[in-house]
């Protein structure tokens, strides 16, 4: 007796293809005799395929039932496939198979992120997608993307590179991690939109992260640097950097309207970024994160340096007259335009070289501020606020070598207090 079919289960039948005329014939079972409906050839001894049909929902385009057919060598195999999908439909985990490729999804996801993240973040996403993900795995269908595909991609990037500047050597572990984070973010959204069921990034092993060594200047080196930089066009910028630890983009994006000389405060609310020529070259955008927008207090000596800088800038305006392209920037070119970050770095490097100092990145001036501040005993919470870190944990982790030294010093001080207490404590009976 045939088993009763459950809800949404349709026909279950055997399909046989005639070897002579290629006509497909169907029947509920292996009937005998079974002759081809077209040419009459006997099909009784020919093995067929079982098919099970089920309704898995409604087609949104037409409103008609969405019926799917599942095949198997045996009736049981076909039914098990059908029941597996129906179980997913009932539990709400079923995802309709799609032919969309990873390239199509990444481009769609990237368009959707624009306006929801800082421009610098969106630009990094775009670079990872354009330069690394699409060329490697862009043609793979979303439903066919496997963990091993992603793992192989990351391994290749660590070993072979694929640098945009075409230089030899592998990519840094930080860049490889960012490739992973970009893909992982796109696939998480694909799960939310029910394009895929499982995120293959979840089982990927990331390469071990190698932090780039910080090279902050010490007090003596800072003094040598400032002596060499005195009279330089960007002397005020260096003073402000060593007093606040701003990111380079934040420093070059400052406007006079952000500075309150009376209250001695500075608002950080934008950054200067280099983008593609088609997007304008240099643009002012929002800071990296919400925490990056902050108000900082400046010392009077720093304010005095900035006042002198403003006087020199005013003289340049008078000299150029209408040719001066005033954008209100604190640090600008002779024509009033934004400073090209690469040129700014080149001039910084020249000062280092002429002062006989180590060849460090400009970002290490930010580390110099934090290092000197922590060594001077300024609370880590205050340093965090100046740096614009999202959490104090980030600050403590970044400068853990310093906080450990500070703990060692604190332990010595506390031990000294205890030792002195023991010496000064009166003996029993002498109170």
Which pLDDT does position 12 carry in this prediction? 86
- What structural domains does the chain harbor? 9-91 (no CATH), 102-203 (1.10.150.130), 219-392 (1.10.443.10)
Q: How far apart are CA 366 and CA 372, in angstroms?
A: 10
**Is 141 exposed, middle or buried, given 0-12, 13-18 or 19+ CB atoms closer than 10 A?**
middle
Q: Is the Cβ–Cβ distance between 49 and 15 less than 8 Å?
A: yes
Could you tell me which residues are beta bridge partners of residue 35? 42
Provide the 10 A C-beta neighbour count for residue 150. 24
Q: How far apart are CA 347 and CA 71, in angstroms?
A: 70
Could you tell me which residues are beta bridge partners of residue 314? none
Q: Is the Cβ–Cβ distance between 239 and 365 less than 8 Å?
A: no
Chain segment 159-180, per-residue pLDDT in tens:
876 555 555 557 888 889 999 9
**Could you read off the pLDDT tens digit of each residue along the chain, which spans 431 residues?**
445 555 555 688 888 888 778 888 777 776 777 778 778 787 777 778 888 888 877 765 677 888 888 889 888 998 898 888 888 778 777 766 678 899 999 999 999 888 788 777 888 999 999 999 999 999 999 988 999 999 999 988 888 765 555 555 578 888 899 999 999 999 999 888 778 888 999 989 887 766 667 888 999 999 999 999 999 999 999 999 999 999 999 999 999 999 999 999 999 999 998 876 666 578 888 876 777 889 999 999 999 999 999 999 999 999 988 889 999 999 999 999 999 999 999 999 999 999 999 999 999 999 999 988 888 888 889 999 999 888 888 888 888 766 556 666 666 666 666 666 555 555 555 54
H and E: helices and strands count for the chain:
15, 9
What is the SS3 string spanning 24-72? EEEECCCCCCCECCCCCCECCCCCCEEEEEEEEEECCCCCCEEEEEEEE
Which pLDDT does position 2 carry in this prediction? 47
**Percent of the chain at pLDDT exceeding 90:** 43
Q: How far apart are CA 313 and CA 331, in angstroms?
A: 9
Q: What is the largest CA-CA distance in the chain?
A: 123
Q: How far apart are CA 151 and CA 230, in angstroms?
A: 51
Which pLDDT does position 103 carry in this prediction? 93
Which pLDDT does position 304 carry in this prediction? 95
Entry field: residues in the chain? 431
Which pLDDT does position 116 carry in this prediction? 83
Q: Which of 117-126's residues contact partners 24+ apart within 8 Å by CB, and which partners?
A: 118/285, 118/286, 118/287, 118/288, 118/289, 119/273, 119/275, 119/283, 119/285, 119/286, 120/249, 120/271, 120/273, 120/285, 120/288, 121/288, 123/273, 123/275, 124/178, 124/182, 125/182, 125/185
Nearest CA to 180 out of 144, 136, 114, 212 is that of: 136
The number of angstroms, rounded, from the C-alpha of 116 to the middle of its chain's C-alpha atoms is: 13
**Is 374 exposed, middle or buried, given 0-12, 13-18 or 19+ CB atoms closer than 10 A?**
buried
Q: How far apart are CA 83 and CA 427, in angstroms?
A: 86
Q: How far apart are CA 266 and CA 264, in angstroms?
A: 7
Q: Is the Cβ–Cβ distance between 12 and 78 less than 8 Å?
A: yes
């Amino acid at each position: 007796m045939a088993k009763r079919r459950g809800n949404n289960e349709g026909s279950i039948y055997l399909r046989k293809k005639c070897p002579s005329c290629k006509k497909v014939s169907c029947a509920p079972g292996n009937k005998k005799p079974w002759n081809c409906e077209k040419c009459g050839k006997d099909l009784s001894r020919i093995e067929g395929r079982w098919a099970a049909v089920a309704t898995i929902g409604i087609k949104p385009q037409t409103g008609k039932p969405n019926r799917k057919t599942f095949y198997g060598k045996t009736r049981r195999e076909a039914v098990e496939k059908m029941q597996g999908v129906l179980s997913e439909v009932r539990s709400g985990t079923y995802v309709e198979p799609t032919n969309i490729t990873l390239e199509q999804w990444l481009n769609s996801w990237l368009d959707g992120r624009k306006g929801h993240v800082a421009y610098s973040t969106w630009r990094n996403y775009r670079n990872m997608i354009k330069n690394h993900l699409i060329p490697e795995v862009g043609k793979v269908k979303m439903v066919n993307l496997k963990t091993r595909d992603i793992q192989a991609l990351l391994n290749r990037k660590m070993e072979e590179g694929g640098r945009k500047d075409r230089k030899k050597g592998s990519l840094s572990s930080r860049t490889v991690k960012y490739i992973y984070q970009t893909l992982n973010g796109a696939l998480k959204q694909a799960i939310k939109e029910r394009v895929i069921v499982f995120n293959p990034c979840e089982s990927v092993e990331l390469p071990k992260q190698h932090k780039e060594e910080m090279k902050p200047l010490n007090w003596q080196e800072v003094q040598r640097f400032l002596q060499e930089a005195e009279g330089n066009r960007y002397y005020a910028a260096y003073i402000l950097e060593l007093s606040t630890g701003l990111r380079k983009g934040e420093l070059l994006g400052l406007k006079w309207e952000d500075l309150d000389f009376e209250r001695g405060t500075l608002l950080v609310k934008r950054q200067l970024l280099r983008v593609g020529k088609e997007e304008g070259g240099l643009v002012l955008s929002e800071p990296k994160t919400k925490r990056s927008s902050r108000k900082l207090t400046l010392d009077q000596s720093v304010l005095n340096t900035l006042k002198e800088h403003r006087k020199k800038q005013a003289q340049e305006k008078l000299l150029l007259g209408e040719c001066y392209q005033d954008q209100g920037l604190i640090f600008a070119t002779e024509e009033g335009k934004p400073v090209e970050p690469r040129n700014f770095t080149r001039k910084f490097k020249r000062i280092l070289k002429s002062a006989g100092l180590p060849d460090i990145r400009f970002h290490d001036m930010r580390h110099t501020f934090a290092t000197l501040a922590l060594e001077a005993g300024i609370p880590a919470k205050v340093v965090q606020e100046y740096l614009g870190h999202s959490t104090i944990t980030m600050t403590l982790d970044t400068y853990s070598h310093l906080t450990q030294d500070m703990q060692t010093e604190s332990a010595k001080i506390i031990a000294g207090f205890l030792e002195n207490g023991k010496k000064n404590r009166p003996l029993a009976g002498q109170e």
